[in-house]
Amino acid sequence: MTENASIVAAVDAPDRVSLDGLETKWGTAWEENGTYAYELTSRENTYSIDTPPPTVSGSLHVGHVFSYTHTDVVARYQRMKGKHVFYPMGWDDNGLPTERRVQNYYGVRCDPSLPYVENFVPPHDGGDGKSIKYADQVPISRRNFIELCWELTAQDEAQFEHLWRTLGLSIDWKQNYQTIGAKAQKVAQAGFLRNLERGEAYQAQAPGLWDVTFQTAVAQAELEAREYPGAYHKIAFHGEAGDVVIETTRPELLPACVALIAHPDDERYQHLFGTTVTSPVFGVELPVLAHTAAEKDKGAGIAMCCTFGDLTDVQWWRELSLPLRSVLGKDGRILAETPEWITSDEGVALYEEMAGKTVFSSRKAVVDKLSETGEMIGEPENTNRMTNFFEKGDKPLEIVTSRQWYIRNGGRPYQEANGKELQENLLDAGKDLAFYPDFMRVRYDNWTKGLNTDWLISRQRFFGVPIPVWYAIDDNGEIDYETVLVPEESQLPVDPSSDVPVGFTEDQRGVPGGFAGEVDIMDTWATSSLSPQIATGWLTDDELFKATYPMDLRPQGQDIIRTWLFSSMVRAHLEFGENPWKHAAISGWILDPDRKKMSKSKGNVVTPLGLLEKHSSDGVRYWAASARLGTDAAFEENQMKIGRRLAIKLLNASKFALTMGGDAVEFNPAKITLPVDRAMVATVARVVREATAAFEAYDHTRALEVTESAFWSFCDDYLELVKDRAYNRDDQFALADTESARAALALSVDAFVRLLAPFLPFAAEEVWSWYAKGSVHRATWPVADPLEKAAAGQDESLLTVAGEALAALRRVKSENKVSQRTTYASVAMIAPKASHEQIEAVLADLRQAAHVRGPLEIGEGENIAISGYELDPAPAKN
């Protein structure tokens, strides 16, 4: 009860209530009335949300509904608390998922060497992709490919928006962005250029993880360890003191071997340290070295270091200053040119046989040759090994040397002068960020401490934010990557593949003395990491930025703490020296019936639109809101059924309670005089306090639990108990007593409608429209103080006792299988002595509600129960 105190309102409820059509009815009204539009105000009066931009690459699934509902209930609560809620929506439409979907959907692939074709018509339109093999995809120009990316993402975004509106997200749809759009490109490129100017962004020619399918570098945060079948091969290297046998799963990298390495404490190989061996077949002389990263209990305890087979090879290569002998190309095939370090006739012949072949084919060639020469000991032993994959890839990652762009993230504290300081700053920043639940903080800490490389942000793809630099070309026609040409911020966004640096003309592109544009794009996280700045208008809307940044809330999934949350913290601290938000709300996962996480890649997702139609949006929202932050929840349609039943009950009970006095209802706490009515508003006051405290602690589930429990008690106990007094059809009750019940009913309904509005927005809005103006979602959150004043200190336990007494009287009729309208000729009730006075206080209501026409005696007992009774004959059916 807030602004409706002491107000008489007309009630205009429909003859028959229903959830059907409420999503369309109120969705349209909210849009037309600007119910959720953000009104620019001061930062103090604003609550801003860094809404996760969903990846636009197909369809949303029920897991999205789950986590986005958590955010929406917070937005609705804060709006009712009087905040101007800035609740935008972004679309993450760049990167690999979009490109893959375009390839599958249209049956095309990008070939930057091809010319642009006007009015290009793709060979397919809506194929499932799986039937369109890579070889069957039509090569098209980069510009044509990007146009198709734009076309398909626009379609997907429209479908996503329809689903979000149906779900009832209180988004301000005028506040939106695309991670590939001009606004996001300007922010991302400006952020990068500022990183570059301060020395936080740099380029380097270095070994890095590479996906041979997507032909792109992969960052540490995008790795996924999976089991992969392989085989151990025992191979003999030749030394002066005899053969040294190593075990490897990568014999095809034998020509890239640069050393044998064992642990310095391994007594088996102490005598070999400082000596050399020669590699089998290839005959290359190699040193035997010691390093603590060698594992004494793995395989033979001595390993070949190849450049590069895995990340340990990279570590050894760096720390032991070993030569670089790469033999694997970016396409995953052995390089065509025979390396200069292979000089033996037998070695050259084997390499020529391997050249141009895939890893699998070249491995077979090496194994066959080693078997022939007797340098492979025994047969290969099958094994399953954990191997790094790109999270969206299907083949193990390789390590390829290439030129890439990086942003410092504290991941190289001992290699970089300022790395340790940045890492410590980011750890301290994590302490200042309020995590909900708090135990999620350790994931941020562990990731920050465990980084071993800077953030690789360049990608060798097409649809994304271009890295905004050019390079000078020297007089010999060679690209000088050390001479980086950058635009002014006022020029942004730019595309180096079509735009020209200051001081140059287009005819100087690619010629001696001219320039070359950077062809790589930024990793999708390099843009998404700036979502707080993009959404709030940094560099594009100064007034909006001042009113909304730093933001209040970052809601997100637990699996992208290492990517989205961490990278956002990095960018904010490098640019502003502060956290981009105050709170981080981390949702759990949705699990399928086998208790596995639902994800598109696993093929076990459930699409939500049918669920919204079947169970109502309010029913599905109830299921989602019933799960706490950070807790995994099962996909459970029964919970949705319960939610739908709750929403229907809110409609029916509210209509019942609000219309007992006819076509008008009075909200006047002064008229609440009887103890049981005061006990009811005392209960509501407590619920308001508990729900409010729960919301303030970002525990929406607790807020729902206490509200739902009290609401069902209101319906099952209080409403049934006082309905005859509230109707007072035969003037059996004094007018003051009737008005007391009606006022308590009205104030209780009004509070429950507001309390349930964040969870059941459609049903709550429908009830609100029967007796109040405007929207419940713009109304004020209920306040406990006036309700407590109306309760006048009444103990709410009176209502509990009354409910137990009424339940006992009803139970008798249920056990006798007679109608609840059947009257008692007499009844004897027992109850604890302490409850007698409370039962007496509600006796008139009890007699009416339970249809007791004769005496109702109360004796003493341990619990409230019926000790004796006489029922009249059942009333005749009409």
CA distances (Å), origin 18, targets 512, 568, 762: 74, 44, 11
All residues at 6 or more sequence positions from 228 whose CB lies less than 8 Å from its CB, including other chains: 384, 385, 386, 387, 396
Question: Which residue in 412, 496, 504 sits closest to 452, CA to CA?
Answer: 412
Confidence band of 2 (pLDDT split at 50, 70, 90): very low
All residues at 6 or more sequence positions from 19 whose CB lies less than 8 Å from its CB, including other chains: 616, 618, 644, 647, 648, 651, 762, 763
pLDDT of residue 600: 55
211 pLDDT exceeds 90?
A: no
Longest dimension (CA), the chain: 115
Pair 816, 809: CB distance under 8 Å: no
109 pLDDT exceeds 80?
A: yes
**Count of CA atoms in the C-beta half-sphere (13 A) of 20:** 3
Structure tokens at 306: 């190849």
Q: How far apart are CA 699 and CA 688, in angstroms?
A: 14
Instruction: Taking the CA atoms of 546, 550, 555 and 560 in sequence, report the sign of the dihedral they define.
Output: positive
Give the single-character DSSP code of 792: T
Helices (H), 1-132: 22-33, 62-80, 96-106
Q: How far apart are CA 52 and CA 64, in angstroms?
A: 10
Which of 317-321, 364-368, 389-393 is most confident?
364-368
- Label residues 694-720 b or e (16+ Cβ within 10 Å = b): bbeebbbbbbbbbbbebbebbbbbbbb
Q: How far apart are CA 837 and CA 843, in angstroms?
A: 10
Around Cβ 207, how many Cβ atoms within 10 Å?
A: 19
E-strand ranges in 114-188 read 138-140, 176-178
Lowest mean pLDDT segment, chosen from 234-238, 460-464, 712-716, 814-818: 460-464
Q: How many helices, marked H, and strands, marked E, lie in the chain?
A: 26, 32
Around Cβ 609, how many Cβ atoms within 10 Å?
A: 16
Q: Are strands 398-407 and 455-456 parallel, antiparallel or unpaired?
A: antiparallel
All residues at 6 or more sequence positions from 437 whose CB lies less than 8 Å from its CB, including other chains: 586, 628, 629, 630, 631
The SS3 call for residue 458 is strand
pLDDT of residue 748: 97
Q: How far apart are CA 164 and CA 742, in angstroms?
A: 38
Q: What confidence tens digit (pLDDT) does each residue in 351-386 have?
A: 999 999 999 999 999 999 999 999 999 999 998 878
Structure tokens at 193: 């250029």
* Amino acid making up residue 183: K
Q: How far apart are CA 568 and CA 550, in angstroms?
A: 12
pLDDT of residue 495: 92
Task: Give the DSSP letter string of 277-340.
Answer: EE-TTT--EEEEEE-TTS-TTSTTSEEEEETTSSHHHHHHHHHTTPPP---B-TTSBB-SSPPT
All residues at 6 or more sequence positions from 683 whose CB lies less than 8 Å from its CB, including other chains: 710, 713, 714, 796, 799
Structure tokens at 12: 């205009």
pLDDT of residue 128: 54
pLDDT of residue 593: 65
Lowest mean pLDDT segment, chosen from 123-137, 302-316, 319-333: 123-137
Confidence band of 281 (pLDDT split at 50, 70, 90): very high
> Mean pLDDT over residues 83-90, rounded?
97
The larger pLDDT score, comparing residue 126 to residue 530, is at 530
Pair 834, 863: CB distance under 8 Å: no
- Label residues 147-173 b or e (16+ Cβ within 10 Å = b): ebbeebbeebbeebbebbbbbbbbbbb
Lowest mean pLDDT segment, chosen from 21-25, 146-150, 346-350, 684-688: 146-150
Helices (H), 607-734: 609-615, 617-625, 637-658, 675-696, 700-713, 720-727
pLDDT of residue 662: 87
pLDDT of residue 29: 97
Q: What percent of the chain has pLDDT over 90?
A: 74
Pair 198, 577: CB distance under 8 Å: no
> Mean pLDDT over residues 166-182, rounded?
94
Structure tokens at 815: 């056990």
The larger pLDDT score, comparing residue 618 to residue 95, is at 618
Phi, psi at 483, each rounded to 5°: -100, 95
Confidence band of 852 (pLDDT split at 50, 70, 90): very high
Q: How far apart are CA 311 and CA 306, in angstroms?
A: 10
* Burial status of residue 285 (CB atoms within 10 A of its CB: 0-12, 13-18, 19 or more): exposed
The SS3 call for residue 485 is strand
Which of 155-164, 416-425, 430-439 is most confident?
430-439
596 pLDDT exceeds 70?
A: no
pLDDT of residue 297: 86
Confidence band of 222 (pLDDT split at 50, 70, 90): confident
Average pLDDT of the chain, as a whole number: 91
* Burial status of residue 877 (CB atoms within 10 A of its CB: 0-12, 13-18, 19 or more): exposed
pLDDT of residue 1: 43
The C-alpha torsion from 773 through 779 and 780 to 783, rounded to 10°, is 60
Tell me how far the alpha carbon of residue 651 is from its chain's centroid: 32
Report the phi/psi class of residue 291: left, alpha or beta, with left for phi > 0 and alpha for psi in -120 to 50: beta
Give the single-character DSSP code of 394: S
Structure tokens at 458: 């360049």
Record the pTM. Answer: 0.84
Lowest mean pLDDT segment, chosen from 98-112, 275-289, 588-602: 588-602
Structure tokens at 847: 């007699």
Q: How far apart are CA 50 and CA 532, in angstroms?
A: 6
Q: Are strands 257-262 and 285-290 parallel, antiparallel or unpaired?
A: parallel
Lowest mean pLDDT segment, chosen from 47-61, 157-171, 333-347: 47-61
Structure tokens at 204: 């380097």
Lowest mean pLDDT segment, chosen from 150-164, 215-229, 261-275: 215-229
Q: What distance, in Å, lies between the first and last C-alpha atoms of the chain?
A: 40
* Amino acid making up residue 748: S
Confidence band of 811 (pLDDT split at 50, 70, 90): very high
> Mean pLDDT over residues 809-837, rounded?
95
Q: How far apart are CA 456 and CA 202, in angstroms?
A: 10
580 pLDDT exceeds 60?
A: yes
Which residues on neighbouring strands pair with residue 770, listed in sequence order?
A: none
Q: Are strands 108-110 and 89-91 parallel, antiparallel or unpaired?
A: unpaired
Structure tokens at 267: 């007594």
Question: Which residue in 759, 752, 623 sits closest to 695, CA to CA?
Answer: 759
Phi, psi at 82, each rounded to 5°: 100, 0
Which residues on neighbouring strands pair with residue 201, listed in sequence order?
A: 407
Q: What percent of the chain has pLDDT over 70?
A: 95
All residues at 6 or more sequence positions from 147 whose CB lies less than 8 Å from its CB, including other chains: 120
595 pLDDT exceeds 70?
A: no
Confidence band of 597 (pLDDT split at 50, 70, 90): low
